[in-house]
Amino acid sequence: MAFDIDMIKGVYAKMQERVDTAREIVGKPLTLSEKILYNHLWEGNATTAYKRGKDYVDFAPDRIACQDATAQMALLQFMQAGKSKVAVPTTVHCDHLIQAKDGAAVDLKHANSVSSEVFNFLESVSNKYGIGFWKPGAGIIHQVVLENYAFPGGMMIGTDSHTVNAGGLGMVAIGVGGADAVDVMAGMAWELKFPKLIGVKLTGKLSGWTAPKDVILKVAEILTVKGGTGAIVEYFGPGATAMSCTGKGTICNMGAEIGATTSTFGYDESMERYLRSTDRADVADAANKVKDYLTADAEVYANPEQYFDQVIEINLSELGPLLNGPFTPDLSTTVGKDMKEKATANDWPIAVEWGLIGSCTNSSYEDLSRASSIAQQALDKGVKMKAELGINPGSEQVRYTAERDGILQVFEKLDAKIFTNACGPCIGQWARYSDPKNAPKNSIVHSFNRNFAKRADGNPNTHAFVASPEITAAIAIAGRLDFNPMTDKLINENGVEVMFDEPTGWELPPKGFAVQDNGYLAPEADGSHVQVKVSPTSERLQLLEPFEPIGNIINGAKLLIKAFGKCTTDHISMAGPWLRFRGHLDNISNNCLIGAVNSFNQKTNFVKNQLTGAYGGVPDVQREYKKAGIKTIVVGDHNYGEGSSREHAAMEPRFLGVAAVIVKSFARIHETNLKKQGMLGLTFANEADYDLIQEDDTFNFLDLNAFAPDKQLTLEIVHADGTKNLIKLNHTYNQAQIDWYNAGSALNLIKRQNAS
């Protein structure tokens, strides 16, 4: 059995006392989100009422899930922690590294050949450290988690932004960077700013062509791509309970597209049905015993304005199908006439070339069955498919069951391609063009979540629109972006006008789910003998060496780069083609800061090497300093390191020998990542001191030997002409973080503590 019922019962056993205590301390009825958060405090019972959007709080998540792209560096780091097993149940899912091209059988074989070393590494490291491993082809991480691990009232983190999908089964599930996941795997607390709360009341009922996808497309229109930032979105009301569990998953999934920390729904009968149908009757039984604790207190939903920071109401009976896009998921258009007008005005191609159904957002049995009901009508009514159609089932269990029930065959009769149970086109793993950069302008419609330029096929001219699976199927068949299946007729092969009836489908398979090999490999009970497979000549994987402590004497340090303006984690560690090297710190370090603008010449990747006077690329110059045993510093502007929690942005400069990053201000997660890697992340006490830094400067830290919480550090800047400035630097290190610095990294310290 993949899931851990004892762990779940343990979460429920402490729930009553912890939630009741929290309610007393907060002094008012609690939302579901608060109940889950307060039940997962690292400290145990609450002792204070946390301020939403302000207080940083330590939590103890129940589970961790990692996908194959992000798991590589996370697990390489975990190997440094000196633990024999992960501290909380963890799974790894191989879904991102499989390209969609010819169809599942051929594509999976190809992926297993080109990425075998990555898959073998992930399998062996999972086996060694007690991590559940889902093979390539087993399914998309979030669909597999929903089917196997998510449970009402639980808290999980995952190294993927759509971890939030598990909110469909009543979890607080949050996407994090690898460094956060490693902390929790190693038995440490996980810190999060106590979120704000947005309540979404769903009244009425979905019907006809309208699907759960349209709810989140509407919410995205209302809140925009930033509107959920720092908040949990909690859905409630009769429209919520009337919806399937996987439909709730779709809504929570795309909460990532409005920037929400996560989204969730209270436990209800749809969740119970889903748990029972996915072979988890014992979880449903356990949840039923504490169901009052798995939803908000009644008073909250009766008067939501008093308990949420923001409340939105949507009447599902009045909601129609939407198409969101192109290039952003919050640009909403009603299907049909509105789209015709907008597309004409904006010169969006009306002809649709592809329809794609799948991704973690919409690849459930219900999604496939409703879309196939439209495909079946096309067959029955003699309508020829105008666009091409591709399907990525969410999991092997969904695929096997859909095949058994004849659903996939309906698509195949329309010449659709059934791709691997994996991300595929959703993450650009789609061999659509040989030269995507120069590919023609076109429109596609898909049931995925993200539609930024180049996301699906690398073609900047592809206009991608997001819709429900049933609308995607209808538009692909019609081949027109402005097609309205509720009003428009199509001409069939006999020249006769026909119309689609409303889609139909099954929330759950009438004959139950089935699967022969779900692709899961359980780890050995004692993995101590397991050899982790990493070839020393690999380009993509490299075992990590512990970082040496930087020490409390830094004299004669040189300036590597003074970054001008915005410097995000993408500027520090670019994505794109570099993703291939995510598991190889030395190789990926060749992208270190290559996107940062040098304030002295306004160029990227062009900095002065003070040893030679010549200019070169940032990583090359830094490697020269490292070879000469000279420490360096990086200087930056405001909000340095914003963007993502990507730990590579801290690990690369650390690996290459940068000792300190000194900026006007940090994005907090990046600042913490620098601390975890045993570096100095400091801020100018006087912001104007940024202007003092010159290209040829040398730096001496005068009092680093007295590094202590709440105590400024003093930096001597020696200019090329011999003049000097003394400046003060602030920091936010507490004693534990100073211990990380002294040990060389947080992981070094954990390892030392384990050994003692």
Kindly indicate which of the ranges 140-148, 239-247, 289-297, 635-643 contains the residues binding ligand SF4, using the contact rule CB under 6 A.
140-148
Minimum CB separation of residue 363 from ligand SF4 in Å reads 8
User: For strand 172-175 and strand 190-193, is the pairing parallel, antiparallel, or unpaired?
Assistant: unpaired
68 lines the binding site for ligand SF4 (CB under 6 A) = no
Residues 194-213 that bind ligand SF4 (CB under 6 A): none
DSSP helix/strand/coil, 714? strand
Q: What tokens were used for 730?
A: 């602030």
Name the CA dihedral angle for 620, 623, 625, 628, rounded to a multiple of 10 degrees: -130
Of the candidate residues 18, 35, 162, 631, the single one contacting ligand SF4 (CB under 6 A)? 162
Of the candidate residues 60, 138, 141, 312, the single one contacting ligand SF4 (CB under 6 A)? 141
Helix (H) or strand (E) segment spanning residue 332: strand 332-334
Helices (H) and strands (E) in the chain, counts: 25, 30
Minimum CB separation of residue 354 from ligand SF4 in Å reads 16
Minimum CB separation of residue 358 from ligand SF4 in Å reads 7
Choose, from 62, 68, 107, 160, the residue flagged as catalytic: 160
Helix (H) or strand (E) segment spanning residue 637: none
Minimum CB separation of residue 359 from ligand SF4 in Å reads 4
Minimum CB separation of residue 252 from ligand SF4 in Å reads 12
Of the candidate residues 264, 333, 449, 622, the single one contacting ligand SF4 (CB under 6 A)? 449
Minimum CB separation of residue 562 from ligand SF4 in Å reads 36
Choose, from 373, 644, 645, 745, the residue flagged as catalytic: 644
* Helix ranges restricted to H, 27-67: 32-39
Choose, from 40, 96, 446, 584, the residue flagged as catalytic: 96
123 — phi, psi (to 5°)?
A: -65, -45
Minimum CB separation of residue 165 from ligand SF4 in Å reads 8
Strand partners, 661: 634, 681
Kindly indicate which of the ranges 135-143, 243-251, 487-495, 520-528 contains the residues binding ligand SF4, using the contact rule CB under 6 A.
135-143
Interatomic CA distance for residues 14 and 11, integer angstroms: 6
Choose, from 95, 107, 457, 697, the residue flagged as catalytic: 95
CB nearer to ligand SF4: pick between 138 and 663? 138
| Active-site annotation holds for 450 | yes
Residues 369-428 that bind ligand SF4 (CB under 6 A): 423, 426-427
| Active-site annotation holds for 646 | yes
160 lines the binding site for ligand SF4 (CB under 6 A) = yes
Site size for ligand SF4 (CB under 6 A): 13
Kindly indicate which of the ranges 25-33, 37-45, 139-147, 598-606 contains the residues binding ligand SF4, using the contact rule CB under 6 A.
139-147
Choose, from 450, 480, 648, 654, the residue flagged as catalytic: 450
| Active-site annotation holds for 96 | yes
Kindly indicate which of the ranges 14-22, 137-145, 221-229, 475-483 contains the residues binding ligand SF4, using the contact rule CB under 6 A.
137-145
Residues 73-132 that bind ligand SF4 (CB under 6 A): 95-96
Strand partners, 411: none
Residues 303-362 that bind ligand SF4 (CB under 6 A): 359-360
Interatomic CA distance for residues 466 and 698, integer angstroms: 53
Q: Which among 246, 432, 216, 479 has a CA at the least distance from the CA of 488?
A: 479
Interatomic CA distance for residues 223 and 229, integer angstroms: 10
Minimum CB separation of residue 355 from ligand SF4 in Å reads 16
Q: Which among 434, 435, 432 has a CA at the least distance from the CA of 444?
A: 432
Helix (H) or strand (E) segment spanning residue 418: strand 417-418
| Active-site annotation holds for 697 | no
Choose, from 646, 648, 654, 731, the residue flagged as catalytic: 646
Buried b (16+ CB within 10 A) or exposed e, 455-485: bbbbbebbbbbbbbbbbbbbbbbbbbbbbbb
Of the candidate residues 81, 86, 131, 140, the single one contacting ligand SF4 (CB under 6 A)? 140
C-alpha pair distances (Å), 41 with each of 38, 291, 519: 5, 20, 34
Binding mask 10-49 for ligand SF4 (x = CB under 6 A): ----------------------------------------
User: For strand 155-158 and strand 63-67, is the pairing parallel, antiparallel, or unpaired?
Assistant: parallel
User: Which residues fall within 8 angstroms of residue 291, CB to CB, at 6 or more apart?
Assistant: 267
Interatomic CA distance for residues 33 and 31, integer angstroms: 5
CB nearer to ligand SF4: pick between 257 and 671? 257
Q: Give 720: exposed, middle or buried? Use CB within 10 Å, 0-12, 13-18, 19+.
A: exposed
Q: Which among 155, 159, 150, 156 has a CA at the least distance from the CA of 181?
A: 159
Q: What tokens were used for 336?
A: 């049909």
Residues lying near ligand SF4 in the complex (CB under 6 A): 95-96, 140-142, 160, 162, 359-360, 423, 426-427, 449
Catalytic positions are 95-96, 160, 450, 644, 646
